[in-house]
Amino acid sequence: MVGYRLIEPFRFEKIRCELLPSIQVNLDLRDDTAWNIFYLGLRYETPTLSILERWASRGGQRFFDIGANFGFFSLALTNRIKNLAAVAFEPNPATFVRLKTILAENSLDRIEALPLALSSHAAELKFQCETGNSGASHVLSSSSSATDSITVPAVAFDQLAADHGWRGVPSFAKIDAEGHDEAVLAGMETSLKEGWLQGICIEMSRENLAAANSSPERLIERLERAGYHSLNEPSIRRAHEKRGTDNWFFERTV
């Protein structure tokens, strides 16, 4: 994209901008995720936002943003849909601080931020915070020898759903766990089968999943067993062909 290349030299700057109507944020454009969101805005990871909005328009009352980074999708959805609540999970401590700061500075009370990773069960997980691209921060295998990793708390979604009274409320979720996605799904198996999660957007990067001994096929099989089918629409196919996003979209079959 020509415009992208023209402004690329300025990405080192830290800026304050109105990212969404009436929402002011501080962005460090040296971070790849912040830079891409700043440049693309509502086109970021197209057609993700439009499909999430569709699920909200069909009665979704709560959005679960799993691997939220600084909360772009939670911010965009609650900004555009006034009766929607969101729960944003972000285990990277520095990124979580940015998320909480944005919520506090803009008095956004319909987004709840939790400094947690989601997994198959409650645990303390080794976590790699990536400099230069916060969106690539990820859970490490227990055998990893990385010396600069940190430990983050993880919980199963099903347990949180029971504890917080989320069960039964029409909802939808976006999962971006950088390869840890199958463990996230394992921890929400009961909620998926109960059917109140009407739509699931999940990143399926074959490379990231392979590093966690998983694959897109395993995620698809798990979701199909729980009663979900993948959407196959022209906008999604184009996005995958152009590598604009690795997000796949699943809706309840029954």
**Structural domain of residue 148, as residue ranges?**
45-252
- Note whether residue 182 is domain-resident: yes
- The 10 Å CB-count burial string (b at 16+, else e) for 117-145 is bbbbeebebbbbbeeeebbebbbbeeeee
- Note whether residue 15 is domain-resident: no
- Note whether residue 159 is domain-resident: yes
Q: What is the pLDDT of residue 1?
A: 46
For residue 89, the SS3 value is strand
Q: CB within 8 A of 50, min separation 6: which ones? A: 235
- Note whether residue 79 is domain-resident: yes
Q: What is the pLDDT of residue 91?
A: 97
- Note whether residue 67 is domain-resident: yes
Give the predicted TM-score (pTM) of the model. Answer: 0.94
Q: What is the pLDDT of residue 12?
A: 64
Strands (E), 67-110: 85-89
Q: What is the pLDDT of residue 8?
A: 59
- Note whether residue 38 is domain-resident: no
Q: What is the pLDDT of residue 7?
A: 55
The structural domain count of the chain equals: 1
Phi, psi of 197 (to 5 degrees): -85, 100
What is the CATH number for 160? 3.40.50.150
Q: What is the pLDDT of residue 220?
A: 97
- Note whether residue 12 is domain-resident: no
Alpha-carbon gap, residue 142 to 159, rounded angstroms: 23
- Note whether residue 135 is domain-resident: yes
Q: How far is CA 230 from CA 9, 47, 84, in A?
A: 39, 14, 24
| Residue-by-residue pLDDT tens, the chain, 254 positions | 444 554 555 556 889 999 999 999 999 999 999 999 999 999 999 999 999 999 999 999 999 999 999 999 999 999 999 999 999 999 999 999 999 999 999 999 999 999 999 999 999 999 999 989 999 999 998 777 777 899 999 999 999 999 999 999 999 999 999 999 999 999 999 999 999 999 999 999 999 999 999 999 999 999 999 999 999 999 999 999 988 899 999 999 86
Q: What is the pLDDT of residue 167?
A: 97
Q: What is the pLDDT of residue 53?
A: 98
